[in-house]
Structure 1
């Protein structure tokens, strides 16, 4: 596959149109009974460059929602053909995400992404975009704030579980959530087929004393660094 030139405005317009066409399929309501969630899968990606070529690996770590124990881990890797540009992350990452998801022995009840969902210029962050293909509820969990239309996030109180809504044009895009006292907050947003209250509840239920990040995302992040190191050492993907 040829590398995609995102400096081509025609292509950017095409990708924007795809996002706009998918938006009506986004439903910020629960499509499930929260009490029936048994497994959650964390998703993250890591990259590296070899000879001017970018490679990536996507790791998915599924946990038991009740015990927080790891149920399964899978990964995919390959050449990245879409350069990074803000607002179009899903087009860069989705191929590897879907390839990794196919390797899961069992489908998780919910996916949690290291990235944004509804908190996006066109409400189509990776967590939301991926839901269209994974056919499961999704949540976006970001470590840094995506500033949209000049709107700053408001710092929540220094109490675990406190939050402030990210409101743009009178619409809630996501939340700035304090998951641990005396530690920087994270930024969560609905992906799809889930509401913001349930997203907040699930994220907080997946927090332990190891990190400000929910367990599925933290474990997926750790796994991507581990797999990337192995692939580089074995000259795979490069």
Structure 2
């Protein structure tokens, strides 16, 4: 009992430190555009997949870089590494950022904007992976999540069943993000500002990359598919 209590106290102290860091970083959030859509050339989709081998956690970060106008992939990279940080709800960025930074360092092209499979401002402390990564990378970002994690017991309202419709998710009188219906008869996705972008522009860019065969923008979809393939390959190699 004493050992469990000591571990719990240690975990609480870690969370307290992470909480302080997130609140300090919140001062650097700007939910307004620092770029013009006319100047947007390269947009990257980012996703991460995890697995364990012999009780060691690994992750692979895949980045797909798209030409904004043609929507064609011009570069793709991946980085595989050990995961040193444990999973702690609300603090996922601390686990994922080391992999993301290493993957970004492998890019030959410099994206103008990054889209992340995850949240940005739509987070209990407004510090989802898209927001935290923006501060680290110095680039505008968008968070695109497949599901909604309830914040302060606030539910989202289902948007009308039409392409491009949305409902805003308001917490304590502030818009944190929105539920976006990208296609008819599909579940909504959840879009939020990462940093240096406003929510309407984030929605516009997300819809720009949505094609007829998926509810997700291809930036996120392709990155997601790449992580699954990379994880499968790594598991086969390590058998």
TM-score computed with the length of structure 2 as normaliser: 0.95
State the partner residue of 2:139: 136
Provide the residue aligned with 2:3 in structure 1: none
CA-CA distance at 1:83 after TM superposition:
2.0
- Please tell me whether residue 219 in structure 1 is matched to residue 219 in structure 2: no
Segments of structure 2 that go 5 or more residues without pairing to the other structure are: 1-6
Are positions 1:122 and 2:129 aligned together?
no
Write out aligned runs for 1:68-217 (5 A). Answer: 68-217=71-220
- 1:118-172 CA deviation, whole Å, 9 max, x = no partner? 0001000000000011111000000000100000010000000000000001100
Cα distance in 2, alignment partners of residues 156 and 84 from structure 1: 32
Unaligned runs of 5+ in 1: none
Detail structure 1 runs of 4+ shifted over 6 Å in the superposition: none
- The whole-number CA distance in structure 2 between the counterparts of 1:86 and 1:153 is 20
TM-score, normalization: structure 1?
0.95
Query: Larger Rg: 1 or 2?
Result: 2
Q: 1:33 aligns with which of 32, 36, 40?
A: 36
